[in-house]
């Protein structure tokens, strides 16, 4: 096994060790210290999980691999969010935090992750061009991505049922979970003849002999999952308690700090792909993560709430409904941008700008105005890309021929070297 890989794994385990020691001994430090210790452990375990998930694509090919990778990569977020929903079953105060974590991670992924990957991919492509060559204007997604975009489009429409209902009932959660299962099945039917490429620690794992590689991946899955499950509860509790201790809105910490910690490895891996000229693969993983969030994660919340002792629905107050509207309209805007499977630099910058604006628009009226602006922008893209609407919405339900990545993923840029 390469020494660099061993050093990386040992570093992650060393970072997580204080949190494990606290859990074993039952020691409970001050909330802020707990936040740092358990938060660092979650991030370290997330890196182990992300490396193992990426390397697992060596043995699982095609669109299903991307779907599974996206699911595994957001498991830390699931652990924290489901804890909030479970505790809300016997402590209603925590219901708001389940919605906060989900909406924050969802908007962070689209408003920060998507633009970051596109901008990095286009900058790298432009640097690799010879003088006089046409500068790439957009990132091109393969036709196989239409399946993910189509699922996300359908889920974006379904998402608006949540603010209209005013809660998330179990029956609606069951529909979303069924949609996720159907998504995995459809992804398994799409073949991809392209050769997988790996970066960083995942590349070292992928290069190992078959038996050692599979054993390493399985071990990393179990270890990282154990760390995440052990740290989810104290990390989630520390987020809430630290807000009170520091005089910061606990809702704000739960909504943004927890997702940033759990999704940092996914963002880093996506950027590494983009730096190697594999922008389409990077954005594809992030789109699949959005599908996971709107289906399995949201669908699981009322079920966790029920098993925590709550009723048959996860209640939402006015603030949470507002957050779901803002998140849903952002998703519609993202889908509209991707209808033509082209991600322009201007669109990426606009997504990031609108995402940043929300931090300065904190009143309810302003949030709904911002939601309306996102819908207007989406309507503009829908008009421009109107010929792709039916094709995209029907993609999850029609038979598709096996897809192969095109020789160029960035318009005007040469294909990346193997």
Alpha carbons 269 and 320: distance in angstroms, whole number: 31
Beta bridge partners of 315: 167
Residue environment code for 349-388, b if the CB has 16+ CB neighbours within 10 A, otherwise e: eebbebbeebeeeeeeeebeebbeebbebbeebbeebeeb
Q: Residue 417 corresponds to which tokens in the numbers above? A: 């070297």
Residue environment code for 76-108, b if the CB has 16+ CB neighbours within 10 A, otherwise e: bbbbbbbbbbbbbbeeeebbbbbbbbbbbbbbb
Of 66 and 60, more confident:
60
In this prediction, residue 409 carries a pLDDT of: 43
Provide mean pLDDT across the span 344-373: 91
SS3 344: strand
Asked if 52 and 71 count as a contact pair (C-beta separation under 8 A), the reply is no
Residue 413 has pLDDT above 60, yes or no: no
Q: What percent of the chain has pLDDT over 70?
A: 88
Of 318 and 131, more confident:
318
Provide mean pLDDT across the span 34-50: 87
What pLDDT band is residue 411 in, cutting at 50, 70 and 90?
very low
Average pLDDT, the chain: 84
Q: At the top level of CATH, which class does the domain 3-397 belong to?
A: mainly alpha
Residue 195 has pLDDT above 80, yes or no: no
In this prediction, residue 405 carries a pLDDT of: 39
In this prediction, residue 71 carries a pLDDT of: 65
Provide mean pLDDT across the span 108-133: 82
Q: Report the range of poorest mean pLDDT among 26-35, 57-66, 145-154.
A: 57-66
| Residue 334 CB neighbours (<10 A) | 25
In this prediction, residue 373 carries a pLDDT of: 95
pLDDT digits (tens, 9 = 90+) for 223-248: 988 898 888 888 888 888 888 788 88
Contact partners, residue 123, CB within 8 Å, separation at least 6: none
Backbone angles phi, psi at 139, to 5 degrees: -95, 125
Q: Residue 325 corresponds to which tokens in the numbers above? A: 């509207």
In this prediction, residue 197 carries a pLDDT of: 66
Q: Report the range of poorest mean pLDDT among 109-113, 152-156, 256-260.
A: 256-260
pLDDT digits (tens, 9 = 90+) for 149-186: 999 999 999 999 999 999 999 999 999 999 998 998 88
Residue 327 has pLDDT above 60, yes or no: yes
In this prediction, residue 280 carries a pLDDT of: 83
In this prediction, residue 3 carries a pLDDT of: 84
Residue 121 has pLDDT above 90, yes or no: no
Provide mean pLDDT across the span 46-57: 80
For 19, how many CA atoms within 13 A lie in the half-sphere containing its CB?
A: 30
What pLDDT band is residue 416 in, cutting at 50, 70 and 90?
very low
Of 338 and 128, more confident:
338
End-to-end alpha carbon distance in the chain: 23
What pLDDT band is residue 415 in, cutting at 50, 70 and 90?
very low
| CA distances in angstroms from 412 to 92, 128, 139, 311, listed in the order given | 54, 11, 9, 55
In 56-137, which residue ranges form alpha helices assigned H by DSSP? 63-73, 75-88, 95-108, 114-127
Q: Which residue has the tokens 């699982």?
A: 60
Provide mean pLDDT across the span 104-128: 87
Residue 321 has pLDDT above 70, yes or no: yes
| CA distances in angstroms from 231 to 20, 42, 246, listed in the order given | 8, 7, 21
What pLDDT band is residue 332 in, cutting at 50, 70 and 90?
very high
* pTM score of the predicted model: 0.83
Alpha carbons 117 and 275: distance in angstroms, whole number: 9
Backbone angles phi, psi at 167, to 5 degrees: -165, 175
Alpha carbons 214 and 58: distance in angstroms, whole number: 9
Provide mean pLDDT across the span 28-37: 89
Alpha carbons 234 and 278: distance in angstroms, whole number: 37
Q: Which residue has the tokens 């991030």?
A: 43
């Amino acid at each position: 096994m390469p020494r660099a890989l061993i050093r990386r794994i040992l570093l992650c385990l060393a970072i997580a060790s204080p949190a494990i020691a606290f859990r074993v001994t039952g020691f409970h430090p001050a909330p802020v210290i707990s936040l740092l210790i358990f938060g660092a452990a979650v991030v370290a375990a997330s890196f182990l999980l992300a490396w193992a998930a990426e390397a697992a694509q060596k043995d699982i090919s095609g669109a299903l691999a991307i779907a599974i990778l996206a699911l595994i990569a957001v498991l830390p977020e699931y652990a924290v969010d489901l804890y909030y929903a479970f505790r809300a079953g016997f402590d209603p105060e925590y219901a708001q935090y389940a919605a906060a974590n989900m909406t924050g991670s969802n908007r962070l992924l689209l408003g920060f992750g998507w633009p970051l990957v596109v901008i990095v991919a286009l900058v790298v492509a432009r640097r690799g061009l010879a003088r006089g060559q046409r500068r790439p204007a957009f990132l091109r997604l393969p036709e196989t991505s239409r399946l993910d975009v189509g699922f996300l489009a359908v889920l974006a429409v379904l998402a608006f049922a949540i603010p209209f209902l005013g809660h998330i009932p179990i029956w609606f959660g069951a529909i979303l979970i069924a949609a996720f299962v159907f998504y995995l099945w459809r992804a398994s039917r799409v073949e991809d003849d392209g050769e997988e490429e790996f970066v960083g620690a995942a590349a070292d794992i992928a290069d190992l002999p078959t038996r050692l590689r599979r054993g390493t991946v399985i071990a990393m899955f179990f270890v990282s999952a154990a760390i995440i499950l052990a740290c989810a509860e104290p990390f989630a509790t520390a987020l809430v308690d630290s807000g009170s201790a520091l005089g910061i809105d606990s809702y704000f910490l739960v909504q943004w700090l927890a997702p940033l910690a759990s999704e940092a490895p996914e963002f880093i891996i996506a950027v590494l792909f983009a730096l190697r000229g594999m922008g389409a693969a990077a954005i594809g993983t992030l789109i699949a993560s959005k599908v996971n969030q709107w289906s399995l994660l949201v669908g699981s919340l009322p079920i966790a709430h029920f098993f925590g002792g709550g009723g048959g629905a996860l209640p939402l107050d006015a603030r949470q409904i507002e957050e779901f509207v803002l998140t849903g309209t952002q998703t519609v805007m993202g889908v509209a941008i991707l209808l033509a499977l082209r991600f322009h630099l201007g669109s990426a910058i606009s997504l990031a700008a609108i995402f940043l604006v929300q931090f300065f628009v904190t009143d309810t009226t302003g949030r709904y105005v911002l939601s309306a602006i996102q819908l207007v922008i989406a309507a503009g893209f829908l008009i421009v890309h109107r010929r792709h609407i039916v094709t995209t919405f029907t993609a999850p339900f029609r038979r598709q021929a096996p897809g192969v990545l095109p020789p160029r993923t960035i318009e005007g840029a040469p294909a990346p070297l193997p």
